[in-house]
Amino acid sequence: MVSLENAKAILLAAGKGVRMKSERAKVLQELLGRPLIYHVLRAVRTAGLKEITVVTGHQEEAVRAAVGEGVVFVRQAEQKGTGHAVQCCEPFLRGFGGDLLVMPGDAPLVMPATLASLVERRRVSGAACVVLTACLDDPRGYGRIVRDSSGGFERIVEQADASESEQRIQEANSSIYAFDASALWDALREIRPNPRSGEIYLTDVLAALKSRGQAILTQRSADACEIYGINTRRDLVAATNFLRWRLLELHLDNGVAVVDPSTTYIEDGVTIGPDTTVRPYTVIEHDVVIGRGCDVGPFAHLRPGTVLEDRAEVGNFVEVKKSRLGRSSKAKHLAYLGDASLGEGVNIGAGTITANYDGRSKHQTVIEDGVHVGSNTVLVAPVRVGKGATTGAGAVVLAGRDVAAGDTVAGVPARSLRMRQAADKAEEPPRKAAKVRRTRPRGNG
């Protein structure tokens, strides 16, 4: 693979996404726990492109925040079409005449290797543009690739402008292009707004280049889902399914025993060690790390910031958020662990709750090695349960009332049994008196 370090990329992310019918800008819609634009940006970076320009407009601040640092932002104040969005970048890329990848922020399934090969092919061929296409069973909504009598590229026609015969074309435009930048800027100046919509279409640049005698090549993706563009909520669901299976297969290939992939929902950004079993109806959200030999589910819910160390077990109806379970620690049934840090070999009884939220802020619970938490214990954070301690069934351990190592606490609010025994002993009446009481029982006289 040639180095793409000198290549640049433009991502189009200024549109509203009207067809999504949402308050939220389209590129911010979530796909397996990450905004669409995150997936696109990662693919471009993984392909090896470093200089990236992102066009923003609708909900600009939020989109820029989601994109983060390390890119150049260009404002498209009014969304006048994909071609216009690229025109807005010209002043910022002035003088750049090399390889330029242009792609939409709503195509999250494209693989980095595909992007790299598109740019590489453009460079090697010297063509003005290589466009990524795919043959779709249902290409409705996509621009179609119209070919000339010899099978070469002729132009792209949008769905709304397509004749009946053009609508039967199954080869769709991905909207992902590798351009020779200088040819692109020249051709863009010629493009007139589409008479129907009034927008300037990037797709029209290809026909303009062609009419100038420049070469346009197509590259067909073997995996059609790569070109998926998300315009509607239905598209988002379809993309979620594609990506979900792609990730599940990766986990299986890494040695994770996903017992029933069809009922297992694992988001992006989850690491799972080999020989871990994930049982049916389990939800694992993004940014979760699971070690080797763990057992998760059925019906477990692991939320962002969860870490399970090797051989930890999380069973049915257990929710874990921003918490760490040390090696071989277990929470097997009906529990909530939030903002908690558990040492090794901890056992969490059924019904245990870390009450982490006081209505204003979240607080931490620390449970040290070898603690045995009895069923239905409530640990009101912030609180620490010392090494080897035990809580009795139904105990409510109040905030700040840390449990000493090795102690046993019980009751509501929970008190140390060790202390209670000592206090009882101190109060115990003399043995003789006790004897008297026993020989003259109440009511016997």
Per rule CB under 6 A, count of chain residues that contact ligand UD1: 30
Query: In the range 195-234, which residues lie near ligand UD1 by CB under 6 A?
Result: 201-203, 229, 231
Q: Which of 251, 333, 363, 372 is catalytic?
A: 333
Binding mask 61-100 toward ligand UD1 (x if CB under 6 A, else -) reads: ---------------x--xxxx-xx---------------
Query: In the range 94-153, which residues lie near ligand UD1 by CB under 6 A?
Result: 104-107, 142-143
Q: Closer to ligand UD1 at the Cβ: 230 or 248?
A: 230
Q: Does 231 bind Mg ion (CB under 5 A)?
A: yes
Q: Does 39 bind ligand UD1 (CB under 6 A)?
A: no
d(CA 111, CA 223): 10
3-state secondary structure (DSSP) of residue 208: helix
Q: Does 158 bind Mg ion (CB under 5 A)?
A: no
Q: Does 365 bind ligand UD1 (CB under 6 A)?
A: no
**Structure-token match 């214990």, residue found:** 377
Q: Does 172 bind ligand UD1 (CB under 6 A)?
A: yes
Q: Of 210, 229, 86, 231, nearest to 156 (Cα)?
A: 210
Question: Exposed/middle/buried for 312, CB within 10 Å: 0-12, 13-18, 19+?
Answer: buried
Give me the amino acid identity at 387. Answer: K
Q: Does 155 bind ligand UD1 (CB under 6 A)?
A: no
Q: Closer to ligand UD1 at the Cβ: 36 or 410?
A: 36
Query: 3-state DSSP helix/strand/coil percent for the chain, to nearest 5?
Result: 25, 30, 45
Q: Does 15 bind ligand UD1 (CB under 6 A)?
A: yes
Q: Does 175 bind ligand UD1 (CB under 6 A)?
A: yes
First to last CA, the chain: 103
Question: Exposed/middle/buried for 338, CB within 10 Å: 0-12, 13-18, 19+?
Answer: buried
Note if 333 is an active site residue: yes
Piece in contact with Mg ion (CB under 5 A), picked from 138-146, 225-233, 283-291, 314-322: 225-233
Contact by Cβ (8 Å): 375, 359: no
Q: Does 99 bind Mg ion (CB under 5 A)?
A: no
Q: Closer to Mg ion at the Cβ: 104 or 392?
A: 104
Please list, in sequence order, all residues whose beta carbon lies within 8 angstroms of the beta carbon of residue 386, skipping any fewer than 6 positions away: 368, 371, 402, 403, 404, 405, 406, 407
d(CA 182, CA 94): 9
Q: Does 14 bind ligand UD1 (CB under 6 A)?
A: yes
Residue 81 binding: pick among Mg ion, ligand UD1, none (C-beta 5-8 Å cut-off by kind): ligand UD1
Residue 55 binding: pick among ligand UD1, Mg ion, none (C-beta 5-8 Å cut-off by kind): ligand UD1
365 strand-pairing partners: 340, 383
d(CA 29, CA 229): 13
Where along the sequence are the contacts to ligand UD1 (CB under 6 A)? Answer: 12-15, 27, 55, 76, 79-82, 84-85, 104-107, 142-143, 156, 158, 172-175, 201-203, 229, 231
Where along the sequence are the contacts to Mg ion (CB under 5 A)? Answer: 106, 229, 231
| Residues annotated catalytic, as ranges | 333
